[in-house]
Structure 1
Amino acid sequence: MDCVAHLASLGHRDIVYIKDTRTYSAARKLSGFYRGMEQAGLFAGTESVMETEKGIIGGITAIRRIREKGIPFSAIVTGDDLSAAGAIKGLKKLDMVPGRDVAVTGFNDSLLAISTDPELTSVNSLPEKMGETAVAILSLVLEGEDPPQSTLVRPKLAIRESSSPFSRHKE
């Protein structure tokens, strides 16, 4: 949702999601994409999601398929930094400039996010914070205290060069 909200705030309306796995996590990310599109008042139909294989090759392949199908897009959201790196590479193969012609976002805020050119806007799910929270809850249980009913660790969006405001002159 955060990626879509960020991209929508920059004026993007044609946002495509690259889905590269069929895991529980991937389903949750896709659900977040749809919720983000709905909250932003944007349409997300069947062409708004491009399924592909996992990894850099999957990102490259997805960009090629999106272009071949003539799907309009000014921004790409991916469920993983590897797929986003592939999307960046795929855009370059089509003589498009990632971060200028098309905004790209990833997920995990891995070292890859700062290794791509341009550097990747990516969701940091704060795994260290989740671990610390889990240990704190376990400590409460071991001490005989009642743990909280629910605990929420909100991810943070690391905004970098790969996401840019929409411009009609792109593409």
Structure 2
Amino acid sequence: MNIYDIAELAGVSIATVSRVVNDSPRVSEKTKQRVRAIMEENGYTPNVFARGLGLDSMKTIGIICPDVSDSYMASAAFHLEGRLHEYGYDCILCCSGSRQENKEKYVSLLLNKRIDALILVGSTYAGEGGDDRKADYVRNAAKTVPVFMINGYIKGDHVYCAFSDDYGATYDVASQMIEAGRRRILFLCDSHSYSANQKLAGYEAALKDHGLPVLGDLKLYVKNRIHSVRDILLERRDLNFDSVLATDDGLAVGAIKYANAKLLKIPEELCITGFNNSALSICCDPELSSIDNKVEELCAITTDQMMAVLRGEEKPVAQKSQVPCRLVKRCTTDF
């Protein structure tokens, strides 16, 4: 039994339950008596979260990302911190890496820091390889504080997810490549996360809808290291491709370096798109066409929804918010 359960049984917001816990004069005696009766009937003991909501004593949000050196994660952390400060909240940032035990450890660590809410940045927290059970620790955390996820989706009570339309973006780009005459599109990826799987699904659907086969040798999983990508593509002489759809700008820049090493003309002989529209897309030569997945907008949606939840606003907060992407065309595409 937690604060959410009490609020639901009493037909009030979690903020109202917290005010009852703290004997706030803003709540009528009738409501106090009803909420207290339900708390007593269910043996509910208020925790720090319940008391802090009413006293406004914490004002701290926990943020976890896999690696803040990653350009997407760094951008998200920057935008989140700025928005949270506008609302008068501080934040604690942790980098968990991608190992399951470390992700769970850092969630537990932040819950012990008396945070008001938890933000998870990255689809790795939604489970790997389509295994939704690996996100159970997120659902358990949401029994204590509201949890917000950026760039991933899991279903659970008090879990709120904001993510870009990765499926639609890769479907559209792959379709445009095919309609421009490309027939062998290399899909470059570095993980099996929720986001990566959505991109893969969009890529495969575009091939099927245009009557092209989905070939295993054109789906390549490599580490997101620019020179590693270049070297692997140079070594794989068995690969035959006329275009590259990469799930990250770093992977796409590796493909550009491969093309330069092979003296291939870009985009005439090799068409390349990246993902995230990061600084890498304009630092390479030629400049990279990249899908903008709207990280700033996702962070704004997340912080605004978080404030609505923490304030106990009566209007329901969407647990699933999807934002459309857009392709920023530069010099590596000709469609």
Q: TM-score, normalised by structure 2?
A: 0.45
Aligned pair 1:18/2:188, yes or no? Answer: yes
* Structure 1 residue 79 displacement after superposition: 1.1
Counterpart CA distance in 2 for 1:124 and 1:23 is: 19
Counterpart CA distance in 2 for 1:58 and 1:154 is: 31
Percent pairwise identity: 25
CA contact (8 A) 1:62 1:87 kept: no
Distance 1:137 1:110, change over 3 A: same
Counterpart CA distance in 2 for 1:62 and 1:31 is: 24
Paired AA for residue 110 in structure 1: S
Distance 1:65 1:34, change over 3 A: farther
Higher mean alpha-carbon deviation, 9-18 vs 120-129, is at 9-18
CA contact (8 A) 1:63 1:91 kept: no
Higher mean alpha-carbon deviation, 19-28 vs 150-159, is at 19-28
Which one of 317, 322, 331 corresponds to residue 152 of structure 1?
Answer: 322
Q: 2:271 maps to which residue? A: 103
Give the unaligned 5+ runs of structure 1: 166-171
Q: Deviations over 1:38-68 (max 9, x none)?
A: 23332221112122222202320342244x1
Q: 2:73 maps to which residue? A: none
Q: TM-score, normalised by structure 1?
A: 0.84
Runs of 4+ in structure 1 displaced over 6 angstroms?
none
Distance 1:45 1:57, change over 3 A: same
Q: 1:31 maps to which residue? A: 201
SS in 2 for 1:145: coil
Structure exhibiting the larger radius of gyration computed from Cα positions: 2
* Structure 1 residue 149 displacement after superposition: 5.5
Counterpart CA distance in 2 for 1:60 and 1:82 is: 11
Paired AA for residue 175 in structure 2: A
Which one of 42, 56, 60 corresponds to residue 230 of structure 2?
Answer: 60
Distance 1:28 1:11, change over 3 A: same
Counterpart CA distance in 2 for 1:49 and 1:62 is: 13
How much is the aligned-residue C-alpha RMSD, in angstroms? 1.9
Aligned pair 1:121/2:285, yes or no? Answer: no
Counterpart CA distance in 2 for 1:109 and 1:88 is: 15
Number of residue-to-residue matches in the alignment: 163
Counterpart CA distance in 2 for 1:13 and 1:60 is: 22
Map 1:65-76; keep pairs closer than 5 Å.
Answer: 65-66=235-236, 68-69=237-238, 71-76=239-244
CA contact (8 A) 1:21 1:54 kept: no
